[in-house]
Amino acid sequence: MAETFEPRIVGFLCNWCSYAGADLAGTSRSSYPANVRIVRVPCSGRVDPLFIAQALKEGADGVIVLGCHPGDCHYADGNYYARRRYAVMRDLLIFLGVEPERLRLDWVSASEGARFAKVVGEFTEAVRRMGPRHVAADHSIATPTAPAPPPLAADYAPLTAELRKIAKTLLEEKRVDIVLGWEKGTLGSRPLFARTAEQAARLVFDSTALLNLVNFLRNVKNQRVAVVIRPADARALNVLLHEGQLDRKNLFLIGVGADSGRGPLPASAYDALLGKAPETIDGGMPRFVAVEEIDGWPAEKRAAFWNAQFDKCLRCYACRQACPLCYCQECLSEQLDPAWQSIAIDTEEKGFFHLMRAFHLAGRCTGCKSCVDACPAGIPLGLLNQKVAKVVEALFGGYDTGLDPGKPLPFTTFRKDEVLPGCGHE
């Protein structure tokens, strides 16, 4: 007889309700499968969704999070926050090819011993039916693409001339210490920190000026800097200003190009403009074409595709280093205590890193594509960020990232009555 597959399941149980519910199931002699390894947490709100990804990375076949029923949280709101974060992580994991049957969030109170046994029993059965989790990388699956946005300008030469003029004046009048722009390099253009009028004459703006220069502002904090930014860059800057990372009064913003994102900042957001005022050039263009194509694939194909992408990854961190919003002093990926990741340069660790980065950019990424342009391995990282943006927009609505800095980020707020997929509303 074939051996039955015994899944290994990690359960995160809130101390006040679900853990007590599990206890009651035990003392009431209810029988339930012993596949769940229980981790007791003070509140479901303590469950960083990365715990779920971590458990899967370390070999769990399924992960279940149980908390107090909405409205019953011992700390008033913890489970509402947990629900939001879980909902985004769930969709992201599904996008990466994890089958939804392997994930569950539900609510079990201290008096629901029988319900605990039922929920755990159902979940274990569902995971058992899925079998072990392993999908090989398939490099032959082509990356879905969306129509490319038009170039920022038809003719770059006038922009360069205008930029040099503005920069020269700013430096000569000592209104700024640095003009942060681009110069012609040996292969395409590269960032230039112009400090003198002579250096300003080297500035260029062309189609190879790809990275988000806002990222370099942290190297020159406390100096007065004029910076060349595109609309998506400017929205990222707004996020940084909102998060208290930079001081707007030290900055002189030289806006350029039209926005390929959600909507433009008003011209008044800039201190000077190269060419005409920013406008939305693709208002009618569907934003998530490529993401939707992947959404339509079977889970196994999604897993095979992403495993191939993560297989290509060098773990060089160029994406993180090129991202203006990845500014942690110490990245979780390199943290030693506790160590979230081993140093292994393998598909699991690389996949976890990218998942973590996408998750930490939820509601923050403005689609500047700096990560994509910096990646030496050609991984379509933008798709991960777009997926998260799509989920956040669909579930919580109305996040114009970087346009409306007064608005709370999706994970710092909640609505009590929101109904989120896979979040125990059944």
Partner 1 sequence: MSEQFIAKDALSRWLTELSATHTVIAPVRRGDQVVFRPVANVSEIAWDAGRTDFSAKDFFLPASEAIVTWRPSEAGIAVETAQLGRPQVLFGARPCDGQALAVLDRLFLDDPVDLYYAERRAKTTLVGFACADGPWDGCFCTTVGGGPGERQHLDILLMPVEGGYAVDVVSEKGQRLIASAQLVALNGQRPLPLPEVQPLPLAAQDAWRAQFNDAYWGELAERCLGCRTCTYDCPVCYCFDVRDRRLPNGAIERLRCWDSCQGASCFAIAGGHNPRPTQMQRVRQRYMHKFLYYPVREGAALCVGCGRCVAQCPVNIDIREILTHVAEAAR
For partner 1, the binding residues (CB under 8 A) are 8, 58-59, 139, 143, 185-193, 211, 215-216, 219-220, 312, 314-318, 320-322, 330, 334, 342-346, 373-374, 376-378
Nearer to partner 1, 154 or 336 (CB): 336
Minimum distance of partner 1 from residue 361's CB (angstroms): 17
Nearer to partner 1, 54 or 109 (CB): 54
Nearer to partner 1, 62 or 410 (CB): 62
Nearer to partner 1, 372 or 391 (CB): 372
Minimum distance of partner 1 from residue 23's CB (angstroms): 27
Minimum distance of partner 1 from residue 402's CB (angstroms): 22
Nearer to partner 1, 108 or 356 (CB): 356
Minimum distance of partner 1 from residue 72's CB (angstroms): 34
Say which amino acid occupies 252: F
What's the CA gap between 222 and 226, in Å, rounded? 12
CA distances from 175 to 113, 183, 195, 215 (A): 69, 21, 11, 22
Query: Can you list the alpha helix ranges (DSSP code H) found in 209-288?
Result: 231-242
Nearer to partner 1, 28 or 321 (CB): 321
Compute the residue count for the chain: 426
Minimum distance of partner 1 from residue 197's CB (angstroms): 18
Nearer to partner 1, 45 or 382 (CB): 382
* Beta-ladder partners of 36: 9
Among the listed residues 20, 27, 25, 59, the one whose alpha carbon sits nearest the alpha carbon of residue 41 = 20
Within 8 A by CB and 6+ apart from 157, the residues are none
**Lookup: tokens for 173:** 């009048």
Minimum distance of partner 1 from residue 40's CB (angstroms): 21
Within 8 A by CB and 6+ apart from 404, the residues are none
> Rounded to 5 degrees, what are φ and ψ at 106?
-150, 175
Among the listed residues 151, 152, 132, 123, the one whose alpha carbon sits nearest the alpha carbon of residue 35 = 123
What pairing do the DSSP bridges indicate for beta strands 178-184 and 203-204?
antiparallel
CB 92 within 8 A of CB 355: yes
Minimum distance of partner 1 from residue 183's CB (angstroms): 9
Minimum distance of partner 1 from residue 59's CB (angstroms): 3
Nearer to partner 1, 262 or 357 (CB): 357
What's the CA gap between 20 and 274, in Å, rounded? 63
Cα-only R_g, the chain:
24
CB 9 within 8 A of CB 37: yes
